[in-house]
Amino acid sequence: MSWNTFGRLLRVTTFGESHGPAIGAVVDGCPPGIPLKEADIQPWLDKRRPGQSRHTTQRREPDRVKILSGVFRDDIITEQVTTGAPIGLLIENVDQRSKDYSAIRDKFRPGHADYTYEAKYGLRDYRGGGRSSARETAMRVAAGAVARKIIPQVEIRAALVQMGPHRINWDNWSWAEVDNNPFFCPDAEAAKVWENYLDSLRKAGDSVGAVVEVIATGAPAGWGAPLFARLDQDIAAALMSIPAAKGVEIGAGFRAAELTGSENADEIYIHDGQARFTKNNSGGVLGGISSGQDIVARMAVKPTSSILAPRRTITRSGEETEIVTKGRHDPCVGIRAVPVAEAMMALVLADQFLMHRAQTGRG
């Protein structure tokens, strides 16, 4: 991982600002011969796309991805496949609403990266958040769609499990329900509560945090490594690299701090000739290496700091002032973080699959 590149062997480099002509990504290191067309990527982008309900920002972007390179078909290879060359992906920015940015040009929005960008770089592209815009995550979703094709044996799904103070009831979990509500909520009951809660927040011009849970099913035992190529370390880095993420946990996570050793360790037995575990406090990772169980991670997302209430802040020239962040914003950015978390998990797992294959010769 360096600057704008994620991954060791499957390497994704993203570029582009919210208000430039386009955003893009290069997915490098993809194995050859994998079927890949734009229609494999677009559905994941559509899931992430804003403006699909009143609960997300009303910025409207078609987010049409183009594959610029790295794929091939001809008269003989009629299904388009990857060639092993880098896959260039591009999405043109369409809805670059020309507006007056002078307010945020001169003031630092609290909770945003304005102050730190300026401290680091001496300047910043303030239009639409520039590089820190949630828009960048579209390219992660596109790259993640490629990653999924590399490890088709693994199913990667995420859901929102907490919105503000309201958690789901895990006993109600239904993957089918996730697509039935605008929150990626696996608990129909909770979804109703959230709907009212979010409506009231939106009316108040406020926002709220959330927790995303991402689960990967089907990864074999053996992916990861003991020290600095740990699977759980990579997942933590991947999820924490998502804008607004403030916490990451694997399996029992912070709850593990409260457990005794006799409560925590997942016992092992044999079922149908296979090793099985009595529960999954480990979250599918032991000693940095996958155990064959579901890989389970959660990410805490903070509320967006773009709210209607005026906040104290300072100007670029160091004077105290107030700011109100108007515009098209998500009252709960955690919702749209769900497909992004899936994508980052897919990127980690595909990379670890390649690392494992490199060292051991097995998949």
Q: How far is the CB of 232 from a second copy (least distance, A)?
A: 5
Choose between 172 and 264: whose C-beta lies nearer to a second copy.
Answer: 264
Q: How far is the CB of 176 from a second copy (least distance, A)?
A: 25
Choose between 45 and 235: whose C-beta lies nearer to a second copy.
Answer: 235
Choose between 176 and 226: whose C-beta lies nearer to a second copy.
Answer: 226
Q: How far is CA 46 from CA 22, 67, 329, in A?
A: 17, 16, 18
**Buried/exposed code over 265-277 (b: 16+ C-beta within 10 A; e: otherwise):** ebeeeeeeeeeeb
**Would you state the torsion angle of the CA atoms of residues 172, 176, 180, 186, taken in this order, to the nearest 10 degrees?**
30
Choose between 77 and 94: whose C-beta lies nearer to a second copy.
Answer: 77
Choose between 176 and 274: whose C-beta lies nearer to a second copy.
Answer: 274
Instruction: With CA atoms as reference, report the closest residue to 147 among 347, 338, 9.
Output: 347
Choose between 176 and 260: whose C-beta lies nearer to a second copy.
Answer: 260
Q: How far is the CB of 58 from a second copy (least distance, A)?
A: 17
Residue 148 — left, alpha, or beta (φ > 0 → left; ψ -120 to 50 → alpha)?
alpha
d(CA 128, CA 113): 12
The answer to whether the beta carbons of residues 26 and 89 sit under 8 Å apart is yes
Q: How far is the CB of 347 from a second copy (least distance, A)?
A: 11
d(CA 341, CA 361): 29
Instruction: With CA atoms as reference, report the closest residue to 191 among 213, 205, 206, 174.
Output: 174
Choose between 178 and 239: whose C-beta lies nearer to a second copy.
Answer: 239
Q: How far is the CB of 177 from a second copy (least distance, A)?
A: 20
Q: To 5 degrees, how large is the angle CA 52–CA 178–CA 144?
A: 75
Choose between 176 and 228: whose C-beta lies nearer to a second copy.
Answer: 228
d(CA 43, CA 41): 6
d(CA 125, CA 108): 12
Q: Give Cα 187 to chain centroid, integer Å.
A: 21
d(CA 59, CA 44): 18
End-to-end C-alpha distance for the chain, whole angstroms: 23
What tokens were used for 86?
């880098």
Choose between 193 and 240: whose C-beta lies nearer to a second copy.
Answer: 240
Other CB atoms within 10 Å distance of the CB of residue 340? 32
